[in-house]
Structure 1
Amino acid sequence: MKQLLIATKNANKLSEIKTLLGNDVQVESLLDYPNFAEIAETGTTFAENARLKAQSAIDFLQIPTLADDSGLSVDYLHGQPGVRSARYAGDHDDAANNAKLLAELGGVPLEKRTAHFSTTMVYLDPLKDQEIVVTGKLEGLISLVPQGHDGFGYDSLFYVPTLHKTLAELSLADKNKISHRGSALRQFVEEYNK
């Protein structure tokens, strides 16, 4: 795997993926292509959105591309925010999204705040006509108040009971060991190397 485009303009997500891939891969992202238009995430599933992102990048650049779509699903909210996680209260506005989530769960006790993070990654290689699709999941609870200062998105609200911490209280290395994205990426590397 010599060259790989990560179909994202999210610097935080890119940093996580680069850390997990290590130094053996030459990684670019859509941040390296400022003229690349925003991709409309019109899919109804994480897989559909990941495939849209990967195919859009392939159409433009014709290089092997890995795209993911991730989100938070809260059981009490019937799976919301789901595929709209980044746009729950405003377009990629983490503070507004977190505030809306806490408001929606106002008065709900911690034990009923079960949730999970999901990610689907789609890899497309136009040169080999290859496709790899993997998924990852992390179970947890939505805490009553934000805790921790690392991470992004809903990390300060996502409490991992086995660790007694939110994702925002973990180092990037510790987060990557258990995260939905880390799990999916390890599966991708295994599939790719078969």
Structure 2
Amino acid sequence: MELVFATNNAHKLEEVQQMVGDKFILKSLNDIGCTDDIPETGVTFEENAKQKTDYLVSKYNVNCFGDDSGLEIKALDGEPGVYSARYSGSRDMEKNIDLVLEKLEGKADRSARFKTIISLFVNGEQHFFEGTVEGRIINERTGTEGFGYDPIFIPNGYEKTFAEMSLEEKNKISHRSQAVAKLVDFLNNYNQ
């Protein structure tokens, strides 16, 4: 069975394909000729992930999955949340990090979590998979690996940021890897 992953990130596609094995063949948006900017106008990760699959089902009539992720900070009432990628009003992650650090100045509670939701649409059924990793926001950037808010996020039980971890280390505990593992487990046990 073929499944379309609502991404054009070849690395993400290859990584998930390796986890799924040969039971499913994954395709990217490019593979099905989709060059559209799929809307993400939801107010929750679930809504945004579902928007991606709903869009692909309505326009291409394919089995597919899409994801949405972000950082939720307790002292900021869950911000930046679904606006994580454009928190400062732009997609400039340096500005986004600066805004988070500025808003957290003087706040004692710096607890936060990364969250990923995957929406899967297969054979007329919708399924959701969630991954979260709890941690805290530090006062300044540390590390050069990863992307997004990784330089200011330390997961619980660790003394270094995601940006100080190798990709392999991060993938063992990350929110995205947890959600993908649940998706893969579901697909590997799926009766077509």
> What's the TM-score bracket when you normalise by the shorter of the two chains?
0.7 to 0.9
Task: Identify the residue that residue 19 of structure 1 maps to in structure 2.
Answer: 15
The count of corresponding residues between Structure 1 and Structure 2 is 186
Counterpart contact for 1:70–1:119, Cα < 8 Å = yes
Residue 144 of structure 2 corresponds to residue 146 of structure 1 = no
Provide the TM-score with structure 1 as the length reference.
0.85
CA deviation map 1:104-162 (0-9, x unaligned): 112334xx21000111110112xx21322111110000111111111111111111241
Structure 1: how far apart are the matches of 2:13 and 2:158?
A: 22
Q: Structure 1 residues 92 and 3 mapped into 2: Cα distance closer, same or farther (>3 Å)?
A: farther
CA displacement at 1:91 relative to structure 2: 3.6
Provide the TM-score with structure 2 as the length reference.
0.86
Amino acid in the other structure paired with 1:114: S
CA displacement at 1:19 relative to structure 2: 2.1
Choose from 92, 115, 121 the match for 2:112. Answer: 115
Amino acid in the other structure paired with 1:148: G
Task: Identify the residue that residue 162 of structure 2 maps to in structure 1.
Answer: 167
Structure 1: how far apart are the matches of 2:12 and 2:34?
A: 24
Give the superposed CA RMSD: 2.1
Q: Which aligned runs of 4 or more in structure 1 are off by greater than 6 angstroms?
A: none
Task: Identify the residue that residue 73 of structure 1 maps to in structure 2.
Answer: 72
Structure 2: how far apart are the matches of 1:136 and 1:37?
A: 27
CA displacement at 1:102 relative to structure 2: 1.1
Task: Identify the residue that residue 53 of structure 2 maps to in structure 1.
Answer: 54
CA displacement at 1:62 relative to structure 2: 2.7
Structure 1: how far apart are the matches of 2:98 and 2:31?
A: 32
Amino acid in the other structure paired with 1:67: G
Structure 1: how far apart are the matches of 2:132 and 2:94?
A: 23
Structure 2: how far apart are the matches of 1:51 and 1:157?
A: 29
Amino acid in the other structure paired with 1:120: I
Residue 125 of structure 2 corresponds to residue 130 of structure 1 = yes
Task: Identify the residue that residue 193 of structure 1 maps to in structure 2.
Answer: 188
Structure 2: how far apart are the matches of 1:17 and 1:105?
A: 35
Task: Extract unaligned runs of 5+ from structure 2.
Answer: none
Q: Structure 1 residues 17 and 101 mapped into 2: Cα distance closer, same or farther (>3 Å)?
A: farther
Identity of aligned residues (%): 36
CA displacement at 1:170 relative to structure 2: 1.3
Residue range with higher mean Cα deviation, 161-170 or 177-186: 161-170
Counterpart contact for 1:20–1:176, Cα < 8 Å = no
Q: Structure 1 residues 20 and 174 mapped into 2: Cα distance closer, same or farther (>3 Å)?
A: farther
CA displacement at 1:84 relative to structure 2: 1.0
Q: 3-state SS of the aligned residue for 2:150? A: coil
CA displacement at 1:34 relative to structure 2: 7.1
Task: Identify the residue that residue 7 of structure 1 maps to in structure 2.
Answer: 6
Structure 1: how far apart are the matches of 2:13 and 2:71?
A: 18
Task: Identify the residue that residue 38 of structure 1 maps to in structure 2.
Answer: 37
Q: Structure 1 residues 28 and 17 mapped into 2: Cα distance closer, same or farther (>3 Å)?
A: closer
Q: Structure 1 residues 91 and 21 mapped into 2: Cα distance closer, same or farther (>3 Å)?
A: farther
